[in-house]
A and B are shown apart, each in its own frame.
Chain A
Amino acid sequence: MTPIVFLVILFIGSLLAGLLGSILGIGGGAIIVPLLTIFFHVPIRIAIAASIVSVIATSSGGAIAFLRDGLTNIRVAMFLELATTTGAIFGALITKSVPDRLLFILFAVVLMWSAIAMVRKPKEVETLITSNDKIANKLKLGATITTEREGKITYTLVKTKIGLAMMFCAGMVSSLLGIGSGVLKVPAMDLVMRMPLKASTATSNFMIGVTAASSAIIYLAEGQVDPILTAPVAVGVVIGATIGSRKLKTVNLNSLRYLFVVVLFVVAVEMIFKA
């Protein structure tokens, strides 16, 4: 495969990854890195650096549609970004000490864990209108959202400290693996902090850009980004994410979850083989 053919296929693949990623709220990175490493045999660190830059595009491309739908909780996003950015910077600083094989295994484990967490969840977690969590109360982290299926849902959050700790890990994993780590952020908000799934997905999407930017800027400043490989990935993801973000409200919650789980399992198994 000549470099030109490779780059064109890469562009198309990235466009599809951006589309799928924004629908699922997983930032596209979980698809981009396996696409680059498994299908195109790109070294994992180059793939990670290219992916983390393009992940920003998924978040920002999707942000408008989510904000318009009133699903994004900006206060929660900003609060949790304290932890994700710290984690992402830490991850970018330790990445050189982490062997490639461990990155593949970590990638598979993260995806498997997320898939299992989503499968085990029998139904939408019941939201709370009151909370004994001091931080959530003091910072007024709750909100009311409107969805087509469930109507108006008012919620507040619990276990914000655990949420923060999980977000630190999510940020670290994001920068180590080049993924948006929506796969960790959504369950942290949804399953632990009791935020409705759609609000969690939208808020995670909003956060992913900032988390990714904090590690992407380190990779870029350190000269770890291959611009000619990253360019078609980033442009493809921007286009895909822009198209995908218009579709969220029309996607059925169960089919969304089902699709999410299948994608995570397939990718995880592939990554284990690669390791």
Chain B
Amino acid sequence: MADFNQQDNYNDETDDSKVAGEKTHEDDHHFHHHQHTKDEIPLSLAKALAAGIITAAIFTAIGFIWYISANYHALSKGSYKTLDRSALVKSIEPSSFIHNLMQLNALGFVGLGLYFLILTPFLRVVASVYQFFMVKDRAFTIITATVALLLIFGFALGVMGVSL
């Protein structure tokens, strides 16, 4: 997108060669390049994703209040330590979460919010891959795509229950 264009005037450079008509001295080259304004920052993207965080928080809050209301009596005695939390913890695992979501219950909503919260930074990375790709910044397309793949890899390891 246009946001990245100004910042990446030199994107087509893949080595240390200079762009004709631009700075010839390397130090000047970097000095010149590094000057960018805040207009280049993808603010709209940040806003969209911050809205995603707020949405996630709202889903979480609805599910939480719903759960408290539905279990008011059980939660009004004893302490949090005495509660059986194993079922709660299990409810957030991917398979149980999808089941709860289909049932449209309180834990399904909490899970939706929490998954959404975690998904937001991932989407930001994916959007960055797209943006760098659009301005033909090969190095940063590869860098951001690698970060995105690492996140997917981590999720897969978690689902498989891999630990060292």
Residues of chain A touching chain B, judged by Cβ–Cβ distance below 8 Å, are 1-4, 6-7, 40-42, 46, 53, 56-57, 59-61, 63-64, 67-70, 72, 74-75, 78-79, 81-82, 85-86, 88-90, 92-97, 129-131, 137-140, 142-144, 154-156, 209-210, 212-232, 234-235, 238-239, 242
Contacts and interface: CB of A to CB of B under 8 A. Distances in A.
Interface string B119-150: 11110110010000000000110011011001
Contacts of A216: 118
Interface of B: 7-8, 10, 16, 26-27, 30-31, 33-38, 41-43, 46-47, 49-50, 52-54, 56-57, 60-61, 63-64, 67-68, 72, 74-81, 83, 85, 88-94, 96, 107, 110-111, 113-115, 117-122, 124-125, 128, 139-140, 143-144, 146-147, 150-151, 153-155, 157-159, 161-164
Contact of A69 (B38, B94, B124): B38
Nearest to B160: A221
Given A67-B41, A86-B150, A57 B117 contact: yes
A3 B60 contact: no
A221 B155 CA distance: 7
A97 B162 CA distance: 12
B158 A218 contact: yes
A72 B30 contact: no
Contacts of A227: 63, 88-89, 91-92, 107, 110-111, 114
A72 B41 contact: yes
Contacts of B115: 220
Complex A-B, nearest 7 residue pairs according to Cβ-Cβ distance, in ascending order: A221-B158, A70-B38, A142-B34, A218-B158, A209-B121, A231-B64, A223-B93
Contact of A3 (B83, B118, B161): B83
A4 B75 contact: yes
A217 B155 contact: yes
A219 B158 contact: yes
B80 A7 contact: yes
Contacts of B31: 129-130, 154
